[in-house]
Amino acid sequence: MYYHVTSTSFSRLRLVVVCAALLVGAVKEGYGQRVYGNRDLINSVYSPGIAGILLGVSGVENRSNAIDGDLDNSSQLRLVALGGLEAWQSIRFPSGNLPAPNSPIYVKLTPPPAVLSLLSGISIVRTVGDDATTVGEAYSDGQLLDLLGLLSENQPVEFTIPVPEDSQDLVEFDGVRFWIGGVLSAGSIGRYYFAFFISKPLLLSPSKEICEKEQASIQLSHFEPGYKYRVYSNETGGSPIAETTSSLQISLPTFATEGVFTYWVEAVDSDTYVSARVPFKVTVLPQPGKPHLTITDIHN
């Protein structure tokens, strides 16, 4: 005989368990407008041999740690005594939510200790496709020194992969590859924690028409709590001319002359992480002229 439990206490307990599971999932994915890489490609799986003798080729160990949503654990890129002396992992972003070509990418990793003195043997580069084809500029050696700043042995560092200043150098990509090899010796280890970007702002409309001496405003279709939204007069660099920390509307200065003006809007997380900028075009039309009136005296 089988018993079917239908007690109220059991039903409530089940509801609590289900809700707790959903809450954990929500917290895990609750990164505001951050989009973390959730898939990857590697050159090979690292596999230690018997009695500590490394029999496999260089590769990646615990690869899922770089894409599992836990920001404190990492995969390990290892160089071994036998086989090819290179190891790499490309963290890829969700297929339905890819960065824009002008999205800054934020990465956390620990370079091998030898890099501190050699400043070589590692590189960071954007990738695209299921074969992790490298695209755009690769950052290594002295370029990485500028990005990484001060390094301490075995300490992770978080840094920004910048957007190329020349728009002609912008490329479509879906991942970021961390590579070690070259001058590094067997036994070198690099650690890869995560890669993410900030979703670009969503605007109700990409443009607006007004008359001169009037004021225009940008309407956001979504406001992320805790974020700032800033407006610039250029696509890269410069200082913000307007911002909001609480409203769906960003007011622009009054336009004194007619013409077409393009502004750029970005989302800012924690005053540190910024999104790709999206354009907003304002077309300023001339004020209609005053009518010219002629008065005729009909009595003369």
Supply the CATH number for residue 178's domain: 2.60.120.260
- Side-chain half-sphere exposure of 287, counting CA atoms within 13 A: 9
Number of structural domains in the chain:
2
29 located within any domain: no
C-alpha to C-alpha distance for 179 and 189, rounded to whole angstroms? 11
What's the token pair of residue 173?
């990509």
262-287 confidence digits (pLDDT tens)? 999 999 999 999 999 999 999 999 98
Q: Among 166, 198, 230, give the residue marking a domain's end.
A: 198
Name the helix (H) or strand (E) containing 191. Answer: strand 189-198
Q: pLDDT tens across 224-253, in order?
A: 999 999 999 998 889 999 999 999 999 998
Q: What confidence tens digit (pLDDT) does each residue in 145-199 have?
A: 778 877 777 889 999 998 888 888 899 999 999 999 988 888 899 999 999 999 9
What dihedral do alpha carbons 141, 144, 150, 156 form, nearest 10°? -110
Other C-beta atoms closer than 10 Å to the C-beta of 298 total: 4
Q: Are 184 and 225 in a shared domain?
A: no
Claim to verify: residue 52 and residue 141 sit in the same structural domain: yes
Q: Is residue 253 part of a domain?
A: yes
In a domain, 214, yes or no: yes
Indicate if 52 and 186 belong to the same structural domain.
yes
Hunting for tokens 């018993």 — which residue is that? 3
Boundaries of domain holding 66: 34-198
